């Protein structure tokens, strides 16, 4: 049985104007169907590069990405992208409904089906009434909800989210995190969520992939053994949550210093030892 998403030996080197930047050195990991995986790493470690390679927006220098066993060579139809810059990713010349519908027009769907998908997606993110508004008439959090609705309506197998909540305020962020977990549980889609926020990664993910500093390799993979039912109030103060986030934090600090704790590297622990 293959994993839904299979990244192997991925390497990306940017070359241009006499500079050679190795953004991603050698990344190998898999995501199973229906998983919610968080990728976390120090800033500037090539998370966005990785995600763009996975989404077929960038061609990797070496290695490959397989989606459902097929090599990704351009944006695959089974993938949807949610960008950090919602304000630039939504088209200001289109109303919310049109923004959500636009990608569907590329698919061979009837008008009735498209409408149904748009209405359903907007309802899922709690924005049924906003279909006729322009994105810039909405708050930042609402705009990112629209971007999520657009991705949902596209009915992807995999949802790639690139630091989607980095630009919203803390309260909105908590709401959106719960929204993502809710959608994941309701719809059973596979989500790969990139963040630089350790708490967010542990709170959201079923598994956390910790990346090293650039040039990037996988520092550690960690199963989050928190209950499926999570809420902002209790989960975040649970002792296990604290342990996990401390562990990830240490890993990231180690990654920044460029030292790989030997025993972690060898054991590739699924769960960190209880402290």
Q: Could you tell me which stretch among 63-71, 137-145, 194-202, 215-223 binds another protein (CB under 8 A)? A: 137-145
Which DSSP state fits 226?
Answer: S
Query: Quick one: 83 or 203, whose CB is closer to another protein?
Result: 83
Two tokens at 265? 């590297």
Nearest CB to another protein, comparing residues 125 and 213: 125
- The residue among 12 and 245 lying less far from another protein, judged by its C-beta, is 12
Minimum distance, C-beta of residue 148 to another protein, in the bound complex (Å): 13
Q: Which parts of the chain fold into alpha helices (H)?
A: 47-54, 86-89, 96-101, 111-124, 140-153, 170-187, 198-204, 232-235, 239-257, 262-267
Describe the strand order of the beta sheet including 62-67 as a list of residue ranges.
70-71, 62-67, 5-16, 19-31, 216-223, 207-211, 36-40, 190-195, 158-162, 79-82
| Per-residue CA distances from 224 to 184, 190, 201, 228, 273 (Å) | 16, 16, 10, 10, 12
Name every residue whose Cβ is closer than 8 Å to that of residue 3 and which is 6 or more positions away in sequence.
30, 31, 32, 33
Q: Does 165 bind another protein (CB under 8 A)?
A: no
Q: Does 154 bind another protein (CB under 8 A)?
A: yes
Q: Which residues contact 44 (CB under 8 A, 6 or more apart)?
A: 213, 214
| Contact of 11 with 25, CB cutoff 8 Å | yes
Is there binding between residue 83 and another protein (CB under 8 A)?
yes
Residue 184 found at the interface with another protein (CB under 8 A): no
> Is residue 103 a contact point for another protein (CB under 8 A)?
yes
In the list 89, 124, 144, 216, the residue contacting another protein (rule: CB under 8 A) is 89
Q: Which of 16, 19, 20, 88 binds another protein (CB under 8 A)?
A: 88
| Coarse DSSP helix, strand, coil percentages of the chain, rounded to the nearest 5 percent | 40, 25, 35
> Regarding beta strands 70-71 and 62-67, do their DSSP bridges make them parallel or antiparallel, or are they unpaired?
antiparallel
User: Strand, coil or helix: what is 64?
Assistant: strand
Q: Contacts with another protein: how many residues (CB under 8 A)?
A: 28
Q: Return the residue of 91, 113, 116, 265 that touches another protein, per CB under 8 A.
A: 91
When asked if residue 92 is in the footprint of another protein (CB under 8 A), the reply is yes
* Residue 17 binding another protein, by CB under 8 A: no
CB of 108 to another protein, least distance (A): 12
Q: How far apart are CA 132 and CA 56, in angstroms?
A: 32
Is there binding between residue 112 and another protein (CB under 8 A)? no
Q: Please say whether the beta carbons of 144 and 130 come within 8 A.
A: no
Of the candidate spans 1-9, 15-23, 71-79, 225-233, the one that interacts with another protein by CB under 8 A turns out to be: 71-79
Contacting another protein (CB under 8 A), which of 34, 56, 68, 215? 56
**Taking CB under 8 A as the rule, does residue 73 contact another protein?**
no
Return the SS3 of 133: coil
Q: Contacting another protein (CB under 8 A), which of 13, 102, 119, 166? A: 102
Nearer to another protein, 51 or 202 (CB): 51
By the criterion CB under 8 A, which residues form the site for another protein? Answer: 52, 55-57, 75, 77, 79-81, 83, 85, 88-89, 91-94, 102-103, 105-106, 134, 136-139, 150, 154
């Amino acid at each position: 049985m293959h994993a839904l998403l299979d990244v192997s030996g991925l390497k990306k080197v940017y070359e241009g104007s006499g500079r050679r930047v190795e953004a991603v050195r050698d990344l190998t990991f898999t995501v199973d169907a229906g998983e919610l995986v968080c990728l976390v790493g120090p800033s500037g470690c090539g998370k966005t590069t990785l995600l763009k390679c996975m989404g077929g927006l960038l061609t990797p220098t070496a290695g490959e990405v397989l989606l459902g066993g097929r090599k990704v060579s351009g944006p695959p139809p089974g993938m949807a992208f949610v960008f950090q810059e919602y304000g630039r990713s939504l088209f200001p010349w289109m109303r919310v409904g049109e923004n959500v519908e636009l990608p569907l027009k590329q698919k061979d769907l009837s008008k009735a089906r498209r409408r149904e998908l748009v209405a359903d997606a907007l309802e899922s993110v709690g924005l049924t009434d906003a279909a006729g508004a322009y994105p810039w008439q909405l708050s930042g959090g609402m705009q990112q909800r629209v971007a999520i609705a657009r991705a949902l309506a596209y009915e992807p197998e995999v949802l790639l989210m690139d630091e989607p909540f980095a630009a919203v305020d803390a309260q909105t962020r908590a709401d959106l995190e719960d929204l993502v977990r809710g959608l994941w549980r309701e719809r059973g889609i596979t989500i790969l969520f990139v963040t630089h926020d350790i708490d967010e990664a542990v709170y959201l993910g079923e598994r956390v992939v910790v990346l090293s500093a650039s040039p990037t390799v996988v520092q550690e993979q960690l199963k989050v053994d928190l209950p499926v039912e999570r809420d902002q109030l209790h989960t975040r103060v649970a002792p296990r949550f604290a342990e996990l986030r401390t562990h990830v934090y240490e890993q990231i600090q180690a990654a920044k210093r460029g030292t790989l704790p030997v025993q972690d590297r060898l054991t590739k622990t699924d769960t960190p030892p209880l402290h």
